Amino acid sequence: MAFLESTKLEVKRKANFTCCWCQDIRNKVEVHHVIPEAEDGPDDEDNAAPLCSNCHTMYGGNPDLRKGIRARRDLWYETCAKMLNPEYGWPIGLDVPLLNFTREIPSTSTIPMKGIQFTDRNPTDADNPPLLYLSVYFKRSKYFGQHLPPGDDKWPYLEANMRFALNLRIQVRAWNDRDIFELMGFLTEGEDKYLPEFLRDAGDDLRNQFLRDRERGWSLHGPAPENDEHGSGDYFRVWRENDENRLMISTFTPTHAGISIHARLSGEMIRAFAGYLEESGFAEPFSG
């Protein structure tokens, strides 16, 4: 027997998807038995602990150290519950805005194509407005202007506005067909039309392994400024982590000083994102 998926998700959620022992947000957390299955430990939430592999190896295999796991877990649950309450301030760890609302937004004075906007709260609720507004536009050129002739480039332009005083604007591009198919394949959760041809008739094992690898996501980036060799510029990335869809937009200077905004997206928002890119023309291959 093993933990139910619903049990594992609840344990991870209560621990803010963080190891209850080391509390290091960089470590991948899994749900382990406090009393091992080999010792008839039950598959219930009371016997479940969110631990990274290092802490599980260090403490889970030692009967004496294992005694403190429940107390450590419960204290971490309490800490996470308090920090998730707005009364106590900004959330900790990986608790970043969950974008769960979307709406179409009109073109602007400098961008001729309509866009799509994602928010963490209902944008029409004046009493409880969103914390994060993420607007996405598709452009055919790196330049801005309503009357520019359409080009053959593919430029997603992203603007994040976070209350109360942070605004970040970036633009990145698809450089080749692989950028298009990898991003669209991730957003559509492996639709056949975005799979490499050799996988379309492949066995389930090979196909599933490819899809698991694809959960690492994909990045798009803009060109580096002229005469710059230090990795500065704009970056956009989507990936899956702890059973969630994640997105990050960043901009970096030549000294590697940077600003990043990190968000989670519900499955419905991921599909809406894919639909917008398909409708706008981003999903069409260059070779087509």
Same domain, 26 and 146: no
State the pLDDT confidence band at 90, using cuts at 50, 70 and 90.
very low
Q: For position 79, what pLDDT does the model report?
A: 81
Query: At a CB cut-off of 8 Å and minimum separation 6, what does 154 contact?
Result: 138, 140, 173, 174, 180, 281, 282, 286
Q: For position 278, what pLDDT does the model report?
A: 95
**48 burial type by CB count under 10 A (0-12 exposed, 13-18 middle, 19+ buried):** buried
Interior angle at CA 10, CA 4 and CA 12, nearest 5: 105
pLDDT > 50? residue 88:
no
- pLDDT digit string, tens, across residues 20-71: 988 877 778 889 988 888 887 788 999 899 998 888 888 766 777 777 888 8
Same domain, 240 and 270: yes
What average pLDDT does range 216-229 have in this prediction?
Answer: 77
Q: How far is CA 282 from the centre of its chain?
A: 20
Q: To the nearest whole percent, how much of the chain has pLDDT over 90?
A: 33
What average pLDDT does range 172-192 have in this prediction?
Answer: 88
Q: For position 92, what pLDDT does the model report?
A: 44
Same domain, 45 and 128: no
Q: Give the Cα separation of 275 and 283 in Å (integer).
A: 9
Look-up: residue for tokens 């866009």? 115
Query: At a CB cut-off of 8 Å and minimum separation 6, what does 87 contact?
Result: none
Report the domain count for the chain.
2
Query: What residues make up the domain containing 39?
Result: 5-88
Contact 93, 17 (CB under 8 A): yes
Same domain, 10 and 150: no
**224 burial type by CB count under 10 A (0-12 exposed, 13-18 middle, 19+ buried):** middle
State the pLDDT confidence band at 118, using cuts at 50, 70 and 90.
very high
Residue 265 belongs to some domain of the structure: yes
Prediction pTM value: 0.65
Same domain, 234 and 269: yes
Three-state secondary structure call for residue 272: helix
pLDDT > 70? residue 229:
no
Q: Which of 50, 68, 88 is the last residue of a domain?
A: 88
Residue 13 belongs to some domain of the structure: yes
Same domain, 116 and 235: yes
Q: Which of 21, 54, 88 is the last residue of a domain?
A: 88
Same domain, 59 and 123: no
Q: For position 158, what pLDDT does the model report?
A: 96
Q: Take residue 33 and report the two structure tokens written for it.
A: 């038995």
Same domain, 143 and 61: no
Residue 83 belongs to some domain of the structure: yes
Residue 196 belongs to some domain of the structure: yes
The size of the chain, in residues, is 288
Same domain, 109 and 241: yes
Residue 93 belongs to some domain of the structure: no
Same domain, 64 and 154: no
State the pLDDT confidence band at 153, using cuts at 50, 70 and 90.
very high
Q: Give the Cα separation of 11 and 6 in Å (integer).
A: 9
Task: Give the other-Cβ count within 10 Å of 102's Cβ.
Answer: 22
Assign residue 143 a region (left: φ > 0; alpha: ψ between -120 and 50; beta: otherwise).
Answer: beta
Residue 286 belongs to some domain of the structure: no
pLDDT > 50? residue 129:
yes
Same domain, 252 and 164: yes
Q: Which of 54, 88, 122 is the last residue of a domain?
A: 88
Same domain, 31 and 71: yes
